[in-house]
Amino acid sequence: MKIKVEDQLGQIKELFQKIYTNGMHRKMGIEWPVRILRLSSGEYIYHYPESYFQNLVWSNRIYVITRTKKDRATILRWLLDEIAKNEIDVFLFHFGLFLIYNEGNNIINREDIEQIGIRRSKLFSSLPRFILMSNDNFLSYMWKELITYLPSDQRADYCCNPKLKEVRMLFKPKRYSQYTGVYISDADWIEPISGARDHDYYKWLGENDPLIPEDNKLDMIEGPIILGNIGRGNIRHFVGDKPLYAGCYIEVRFGEGWISGRYEYLSKDTQIRIVSTRGDVIFIDEHHLVRMYH
């Protein structure tokens, strides 16, 4: 059965009226998580987390299917007329565009714009664009904006991490570098210390990673790595009675954590070479504590 665009437009009108009358998420008021960026050209770009509009779609059970440019243009004309009359705001306008295209409005093609007329095209061009950010990027940007930068008479200006009392945030090292300029190579996760100066942080390695549940590694052998004879003058490293072969998975104990990688022993006259899963080369000596799978 063909879905009529008039029926879909009616659903959108009903939903928008419901939002204005009853609010969102079963509570009064309208909330929009958004980062507004003003470019040097004076243009504004609204950044929304990618899941927010989709959550509104699912929670309100509204599914708009616009297969033709005529159908898309019908809804787009209505959205532009409504915002021109101040019947809807720019946030609902962006949500309406998402219902049509399921993406940011920078993907609207020229054919659709040609369908709405010159006056509406000019209005459309004057309105802020919107972009959907990954949830990771959105939260990282919000955290960065809460960093405090303070002047000092004794030293160069310094910064303080956002003060969080009941929330903890962790970053992958590469992402932490993108937002602070500080790169740490010997950690799996970085946790900024609340309110600390100069991006001070905790480092989390291996199974100390607080995002990974502890497990007892019942399927792994743990012990010192030792050199053993396998007969006919051939030697090989062992963990317990389990021989190690070049390229096999291994975890190496450092401090209170474990670094995972692959075993690449070269010869009996060299240190034991391990290549971590991050690509770093690590050298350890015989009797170092390691573990491997049975």
Q: Where is average pLDDT lowest: 133-147, 198-212, 236-250? A: 198-212
Structure tokens at 60: 């309100």
pLDDT band at 83 (very low <50, low <70, confident <90, very high): very high
| pLDDT over 90 percentage in the chain | 37
Q: Which of 2-16, 24-38, 50-64, 235-249 has the lowest mean pLDDT?
A: 24-38
Cα 218 vs. chain centroid, distance in angstroms? 32
Average pLDDT over residues 91-95: 93
**CA angle in degrees (0–180, nearest 5) for 36-80-126:** 50
> CB neighbours of 44 closer than 8 A, spacing ≥ 6?
36, 37, 38, 128, 129
Ordered domains of the chain (ranges, CATH)? 5-133 (no CATH), 136-206 (no CATH), 220-293 (2.30.30)
